[in-house]
Structure 1
Amino acid sequence: MKSNLFSRLPALVLALFSVFAQSQEAPLITITGVDDELRNNILNHLRIGGENCDTDMGRLLRLQNQVRGNTERAANALGYYKSSIAINFSPGESCWMLNIDINPGEAVMLDTVNIALDDQPIAVFNEVIDTSPLASGQQLNHGLYERLKNNLSATAVENGYFAARFVRSELNIDLVSNTADIDLLFAPGPRYLIGNIQMNNSSILSDEFVANLFQINTGDAYSNTELVRLRNNLDQSQYFSQVSINPQLSQAQNQSVPLLVNLAPRPRHAYSAGIGFTTDTGPRVRLGYENRYQTRNGHRLDTEISLSQVRLQQNVNYMMPIGRNPLRESMLYSAGVINEDNDTFESKRVELEAAYRNESTDGWLRNTFVNYQRDSYAINLDRDISHLAILGFNLSKTQADDLINPSRGWNLFTEISGATDAVISDTNFIQTIVNGKTVNSFGSRSRLLLRFDSGFTWIDDKEELPVSLRFLSGGDQSLRGYKYRSLGPTDDNGLVVGGKHMLTGSVEVDYEFRPRWRMALFTDAGNAFNEFDDVDWKQSVGVGIRWLSPIGPLRFDLAHTLNDDEGFRIHITMGPDL
């Protein structure tokens, strides 16, 4: 019995394969005599997808009129009204075939094109009209004509022109002259305004503060874009767990649309914990606490402690929204203690800072700050204590198509700061920092990533610059292949002490060889230095692999130095590319 079953197995497999092969067969449809645009339009109009290889020739022949009609409509849509069409169904070896041979004839061309508003020019509608390809001398295309009408109607709804209508909407075709005229007159009507705003605020925030967050008032021009932007800003404010803004169009009166706003609070107290690892700092642990509603005016208090093998940092921050737009303006008061002990230096630093932060509508974040720091440090055999009162300003922006896995984007950070011994500080200095990153795609799966970090200091005696303000290179985010902050100018004993200036950069190419996985080639170069004519340039090259996790890429790099006999060094990091 068993041998009989095995003897039949090849036949069973062959039968199953035959059934599978038949299920994969499909009719062969060929369209000749036309360009790709018309061919694709005909394929989209045929509507015979429900017919399979089992359909008999009798039914197929009865479908000829349907196929002819759909083909004519597809040709007409692109301006071909004088086409001749030959349709031929024929049996094939395993499935039937359809050939459509067309002589499209001469296309209808646009003659007079009149597209206008019935009132004074309105920018949003003029932009739609000006970008339309419909123009005298162009080939008639019904799709473009309907798209223009749809875009005008959508723009009207988007911007609160709820009474908009077409006064005239005419497309006249003259087959004798083979021309067409378009006469389109659009009446936007009055623009509706924001009416009464009913706000259901179940958070502990005061109604006055929430009204300042809202940034839209009764009497403002209606705009869906502004309502969506406002909802996103409120979502990102971290005050609310749920935000809904509902225009009550059915209750519009006197060209005003009331709004119903529902705001649900987040929990007042939040606790967080995290663990991580990088080769610069080793394993690290983070604990945090936040009071999201320290006051009814939106003040926040948060504190965090993070611990790694080389760094212990404790911070307390108090944030106060201010100004007419508290979503974009705030004062931040901070206190922190940072203890760092790496292979180059030891530092115990206490910092106090007050900062005014402002974010513009185009995404630039401006930060003006006053910082006091006391730094007790030891670098090699030198020990010192510094006191600095630093005044500074920084500017930053990140722009990308996807912040977690960008295919195109950039980041820029610039800062200038300084201190004078006339006010608390032990020394005079000015320091500037410019850091930038870009990501650009080429091909379908490849990206080019560039990074540039620079810093320059003007000070009379470089020995008076505390270690927290000296530049050092090397590590995961600097020059891979070298230890964390191990590169820079040296003292008479050849020990690294850090420098006044720094220039480092990186060029990296990665390739997505399978979904969520990339391989990379890179080179890093640069160093910290004191004099521009005495720079000990360092360079490394390496390969890496990236896993695109839901919270950002996890990177595993193997780097080799070109200037020193450092061998290979592994670098493991996690975080966004920009």
Structure 2
Amino acid sequence: MCAVLLCSCGSNDELIEQKPDDTVYVTFKVDGLNQQLHDNVQAFLDTMPAIAKERVFLFNREIRENTQKALRAFGYYHPEIKVELPKRDDPNATEVVVSVDAGKPLFIRNCNVEILGEGADYKVFSDLLSNSSIKSYTLLDHGAYEKLKSDLRSKALSLGFFDVELLSSRIMVYTEENFADIELLIDTGKRYSFGKFITDETTDELLKPVESLMTLNEGKPFSTKEISDYQSSLTRTNFYRSIDITPQMEAIEDYKVPLKVHLERRSNNLMRVGAGFSTDEGPRMLFEWDKPLLNSSGLVVFIC
């Protein structure tokens, strides 16, 4: 294989030869852990900047710290870590071996998770808590804890609790005793409802044939699923080419969220003609006729 030499011009127009980079970089091998811990430690180490073999001894502390962070994410705060660097006099040795004894994981002693506000009595939140692994007398998993916080907030927003607030989020770790206490308090605030439709004249006319499908009535509790379901209902009529429903958060009044709706009608008839060839059946023709299921009066169209 030929090495490619990059050249640049000096001030005296002479060519200056640039030698190819022959730096040898190290890789990491993790030993002594189960698959979950191994994968997390490996991921942490692999995200470190590339380390030249001749300088790897300078990164011993960073390697240990990244290994510790990866293990703490799953509640292991007392690991024993051994870092074996590649031999300098062996040109083929480029692997840093990180051998780990994870030790005992931390357990959650007291877990206090509370939902406050109007959403306190909603089963959807209690279900999220029940299905989470964040409970007393279980292993501490920082990833599961962050997921629970994110899931609770996302669900609150999807239900129209737009003032949801995280009042307290604490993990108190007692490393010597090998346990942790958790406090998580979330106030959902008040649930918002649907406001008026904001439409143009064309959309007003296009909504008339589907008045019976309306589910986003003003005053009904807000829900992104309700919006999605209504949009799906409109799509199934095959009457519209484009359906756009957007909550107008900047126009909220009295806890009501207006919805901007824009519709575009499809052509009355869409036809497609094509040709193909099958090894079993020979030449084949394709003819499709796509017709809306509703007409402009809202009547169901039957195709015989």
Structure 1 counterpart SS, 2:217: coil
Indicate if the aligned counterparts of 1:109 and 1:137 stay in contact, CA closer than 8 A.
yes
TM-score calculated relative to the size of structure 1: 0.44
Between stretches 273-282 and 236-245, larger displacement belongs to 273-282
What's 1:103 paired with? 101
Q: Report deviation, 1:272.
A: 4.2
User: Does 1:224 find its partner at 2:224?
Assistant: yes
Structure 2 distance, partners of 1:281, 1:203, is 47
What letter is aligned with 2:253?
Q
Q: 1:103 to 1:208 in 2, by over 3 A?
A: same
1:67 aligns with 2:26: no
Partners of 1:42 and 1:87 in 2: CA distance = 13
Structure 2 gaps of 5+ residues are 4-21
Change (3 A) 1:99 1:194: same
Whose strand fraction is larger, Structure 1's or Structure 2's?
1
Q: Deviations over 1:471-496 (max 9, x none)?
A: xxxxxxxxxxxxxxxxxxxxxxxxxx
Q: Shift in Å at residue 77 of structure 1?
A: 1.3
The answer to whether the 8 Å contact 1:75/1:104 transfers is yes
Shift of 1:274: 5.3
- Percent identity, aligned pairs only, is 24
Match of 2:260 in 1: 260
Bigger RCO (CA 8 Å, 6+ sep): 2
Please say which structure displays the higher CA radius of gyration: 1
Partner of 1:114: 112
- Give the CA deviation at 1:105: 2.3
Question: What's 1:185 paired with?
Answer: 185
Residue 234 of structure 1 is matched in structure 2 by 234
Instruction: Give the letter aligned to residue 66 of structure 2.
Output: N
1:94 to 92, 95, 99: 92
- State how far apart, in whole Å, the 2-side matches of 1:108 and 1:294 are: 62
CA displacement, residues 178-218 of structure 1 (integer Å, 9 cap, x when unaligned): 11111222211111101111123636955432433443211
Q: For the structure 1 residues 201 and 232, does the alpha-carbon distance in structure 2 shift closer, same or farther, using more than 3 Å as the test?
A: farther
Q: Deviations over 1:288-307 (max 9, x none)?
A: 767659853134xxxxxxxx
How many angstroms apart in 2 are the aligned matches of 1:148 and 1:294?
44
Aligned equivalent of 2:74, options 75, 78, 91: 78
TM-score, with length taken from structure 2: 0.80
**CA 277–237 in structure 1, closer or farther in 2 if over 3 Å, else same:** farther
Change (3 A) 1:183 1:276: same
Closer, same or farther: CA 64–203 of 1 in aligned 2, 3 Å: same
Cα distance in 1 for residues equivalent to 2:232 and 2:56: 55
Could you tell me which residue of structure 2 aligns to residue 46 of structure 1?
45
Change (3 A) 1:239 1:37: same
Q: How does 1:155-194 map to 2 (within 5 A)?
A: 155-194=155-194
**Contact 1:46-1:71 within 8 A present in 2 as well:** yes
Preserved CA contact (<8 Å) 2:25 2:53? no
The superposition leaves residues 47-106 of structure 1 with CA deviations (integer Å, 9 ceiling, x where unpaired) of: 455426xx242x211122211211111121111112232222214543511111223222
Paired amino acid for 1:34:
L
* Contact kept? 1:204, 1:293, Cα under 8 Å: no
Please show how residues 19-418 of structure 1 align to structure 2 within 5 Å: 27-48=26-47, 50-51=49-50, 55-57=52-54, 59-91=55-87, 92-119=90-117, 120-200=120-200, 202=202, 205=205, 207-273=207-273, 292=292, 295-299=295-299, 319-320=300-301, 332=302
Contact 1:268 1:293 in 2 (8 A): no
C-alpha separation in 2, matches of 1:135 and 1:110? 7
1:292-341 deviation digits (Å, cap 9, x = unpaired): 59853134xxxxxxxxxxxxxxxxxxx34xxxxxxxxxxx4x65xxxxxx
Residue 136 of structure 1 and its aligned partner are, at CA, apart by: 2.0
The two structures, once aligned, show a CA RMSD in angstroms of: 3.2
Q: Is the 8 A contact 1:201 1:262 kept in 2?
A: no
Contact 2:140 2:180 in 1 (8 A): yes
- CA separation in 2, counterparts of 1:226 and 1:126? 21
Q: C-alpha separation between the residues in 1 aligned to 2:187 and 2:115?
A: 6
Query: Could you give the per-residue CA deviations for residues 31-60 of structure 1, whole angstroms, max 9, x where no partner exists?
Result: 2232222211111112455426xx242x21
Contact between 2:111 and 2:182, CA under 8 Å: does it hold in 1?
yes
Partner amino acid for 1:33? G
